[in-house]
Homo-oligomer: A and B are copies of this chain.
Amino acid sequence: MALPKVGWIGLGIMGKPMVRNLLNAGYPLVVWNRSRPAVDLAASWGATPANSAKEVAEQCEIVVTMVPDSPDVQQVVLGPNGIYEGIRPGSVYVDMSTISPMVTKRIAAKLAEKGVQMLDAPVSGGDIGAQRGTLSIMVGGPREAFERCLPLFQILGENIVHAGEENGLGQFVKLCNQTACGLNLLAMVESIALGAKAGLDLEKMLAAITKGAAGSWMLSNLGPKVIAGDWEPGFMVKLQQKDLRLVLEAAASLGLPLPGTALVHQLFRVVEAAGLGEKGTQALAHALERMGNFKIHPDEG
């Protein structure tokens, strides 16, 4: 059976390696991106370049977006020369960006008017997961559309969960993920800050606590970076902030107080105010250093 022609919009740090994996798996791809060099690169790998999102949608039965934020998705779907203008009834639109679940629902309702099903399918696992095809993919939307797109998801990721048939549920799972990530980050940096102020050998401290009830992915993977003074991303502070904003907006729309997540969002603002928005999320440690007027690494500037 021939693989369906897939349209892809958004060739950033995530989109590029995902497109490459699909091309390697034999999918025919039509691509568009706001800036042209990424389109040319994808074309050099075998993708067909297009001149607009509309032009992509006209040619493909599955159309995917992977763009930064809710307004970008709205623009590329509903804006002039957008997906909505080009997409044919019976096609599936898949948004793999992390955006607002409420915006997701509105876009799905609009596309339904044209006989198009939507999946929200945000991912976690970062650029490394995108390169290796090991992303987690959290999907909301009709089962039929999910099953149609599953072979494609299986090229891109490993842990693929269909959260439910309602659009937005995939986004909500992603937001639950980011909520836990944010507070686990704070757990890691408060723990290390306390150890640093107490004069502990921080490597010994981490070795003592990582395997037990205090353990987390953040402690194991980013704790050593904080101790080593390595602030390179990984996942950037400004992207974590975008996701925490989405969490807090969603929680507000549900009438749910999330005091811890609100605090993490504010503490990351301290990091951003210090000009460190493009550092890795482990730079949350800087907020504690600044507030406590100390350095985890006394030798640092």
**How far apart are the CA atoms of A176 and B214 in the complex, in Å?**
9
Q: A159 with B208: in contact, given A179-B191, A254-B197 (CB under 8 Å)?
A: yes
A74 within 8 A of B: no
Tell me how far the C-beta of A229 lies from the nearest C-beta in chain B, rounded to whole angstroms: 18
Does the CB pair B172–A195 fall under 8 Å? yes
Contact with B along A192-209 (1 / 0, CB 8 A): 111101111100110111
Q: How many copies does the complex hold?
A: 2
Does B101 contact A184, Cβ atoms closer than 8 Å?
Answer: no
**A173 adjacent to B200 (CB under 8 Å):** yes
Q: Say which size band chain A's interface belongs to.
A: 35 or more
Q: Contacts of A208 on B, CB cut-off 8 Å?
A: 136, 138, 159, 161, 163, 173, 177
The distance in angstroms between the C-alpha atoms of A155 and B187, with both chains bound, is: 31
For the residues of A in contact with B, the DSSP-based class is helix
Contact A217 B218 (CB under 8 A): no
Q: A163-B200, A180-B188, A263-B263 are in contact. Are A217 and B207 (CB under 8 A)?
A: no
Which of chain B's residues have a CB closer than 8 A to the CB of A172?
Answer: 194-195, 198, 200, 205
| A251 at the binding interface (Cβ < 8 Å) | yes
User: Is there an interface contact between A212 and B101, defined as CB atoms closer than 8 Å?
Assistant: no
- Give which listed residue, B101, B163, B168, B258, contacts A193 with CB less than 8 A: B258
Q: Which of chain B's residues has its CB closest to A215's CB? A: B217
Most buried by B among A162, A183, A204, A263: A183
State in angstroms the CA–CA spacing of A238 and B219 once bound together.
25
Once A163-B200, A217-B215 are accepted as A-B contacts, the answer to whether A187 and B194 lie under 8 Å apart by CB is no
Pick 7 A–B contacts, CB within 8 A, sort by A.
A172-B200, A175-B194, A179-B187, A180-B187, A187-B187, A193-B258, A255-B293
Query: Which 10 pairs across A and B sit closest by C-beta, in order of nearness?
Result: A183-B187, A216-B216, A180-B214, A161-B208, A172-B198, A180-B191, A177-B209, A197-B254, A186-B260, A215-B217
